[in-house]
Each structure stands twice: as structure tokens, then as C-alpha cells.
Structure 1
């Protein structure tokens, strides 16, 4: 299962409203790249494919392809703000290490 915090859900709704994307779900996937091997990709999408895992948490629809799901099961999506910027943070139990800048991971 994939979950999203209240703060992250509020930020997703804020972005969806500003970009006129209400009603769309979030596509979450793992892509190859970065210095540690994998990185997250998160964007709005109209509807899932027939192969996707679908979740809904706090009113946010999440779509995950089967390949990405094997790396994402149990992940929590949060939104953080700090001195060094703000953005979505992924708490993923499958991650074994991350790169120094925190933008990629390995399993």
C-alpha cells in the first residue's frame, strides 16, 4: 500500500487547483537514474492503465505501474518545507541507501 500525509495531500490539491487538474490522479513511478541508481517521478495523469495498482488516500488517487510498485510498496509520501527548499519526501522501506544530495536511491 502507498500512503500520503495530510500535508502532502493538501499540497497536491493546491497544485491541482492552481493547474486546473482537479479530478486527475498522481502517477508515482521509479525511474533509473541519479547517482544511486533510481529516482522518483511524480506527475498528474487522467486515468490509470489496466495494469496499474491504484490507491486512494486522503482523497488523492495514486497510480503505480507494476514494475515501480515492487520498489514502492509501503512508501509514505510527505511534503516538507525547510531552509534548503521544499518538496515531496518519500519514506520508502525498500531503500537501502541514498545519494549525498538525496535525489536518488538504491534498493
Structure 2
């Protein structure tokens, strides 16, 4: 047996992959305003630095799919991006629907929230939180 082992240790499985450049291969990006809001939420809710912002697509919503954002740990196989000091993680299935998406944070008369500029959608509902592909 060679000195190089193909088995992974428990420590190796929890180590995040190196962050990819979000401008390459249609990665996920955050606007500076959205990044600032994420950092503000992290601080206000005392979220550990080891947690990244998970960007996920789930079935449901008025138009078929909906976005989900939450702080989570890296999972093996995740795509990892670092944008404006915020580490984003995204599973492979969600990333198929999110390639090239820019996440912004907007405030307006109808409230405030994260807005997804997703070039892969073919339609969205009036509430803006679900989409179709």
C-alpha cells in the first residue's frame, strides 16, 4: 500500500472546498449591499464564523420552485464562493438552477428582502419568492 491513502478521515470530510471565483463558470454573486446585510444578520444573530450562507432551491411556491437562504455548515460536494467577505455554499442540485444568479438586498414601500437576479428562470410569481425554469 502506498503512503497516500484514498480513504478520507472525518476531519477531511468537514473541510470546505476552496472558494471558487464567482465570476467564473456562472457562479453565485452577492451585491455589496446584500453582503453587508448578510454580515449584519450574522452579527445580530451571533452566527458562528464557521457557518456559510447556504443558497438553496426547493420545490414549492406559486411558480414551482422557491429560494431559501440560511446559515449552514459546508457539506461535501458543495460549491463554495466567497463574495465581498461572505462565504456562500450551494449544493449541486440547487446550483444547476442558480448558475449566474446575483443576490441583492432591496428596501422599498412593499418591504425589504433579498432579491434574486436569476438568468435561468422562465417566469416568477407576483410575490417574487418563487420561480419557474
TM-score of the superposition, structure 2-length normalised? Answer: 0.78
2:83 corresponds to which of 13, 34, 57? 57
Which of the two has greater strand per residue?
1
Q: Give the ranges of 4+ consecutive aligned residues of structure 1 lying more than 2 Å apart after TM superposition.
A: none
Q: Gaps (5+ residues) in structure 1?
A: none
- For residues 22 and 75 of structure 1, the distance between their equivalents in structure 2, rounded to whole angstroms, comes to 25
1:26 aligns with 2:53: yes
Q: Gaps (5+ residues) in structure 2?
A: 1-26
Deviations 1:10-55 (A, max 9, x none): 000100000001412101100000110000000011x211110110
CA positional deviation for 1:101: 2.0
1:73 corresponds to which of 82, 95, 99? 99
User: Is residue 13–residue 22 contact of structure 1 (8 Å, CA) maintained in 2?
Assistant: no
Secondary structure in 1 matching 2:96: helix
Aligned Cα root-mean-square deviation (Å)? 0.8
Paired residues, number:
106
- For residues 4 and 18 of structure 1, the distance between their equivalents in structure 2, rounded to whole angstroms, comes to 19
Counterpart of 2:63 in structure 1 is 36
Which one has the largest radius of gyration? 2
Q: 1:22 to 1:5 in 2, by over 3 A?
A: farther
Counterpart of 1:5 in structure 2 is 31
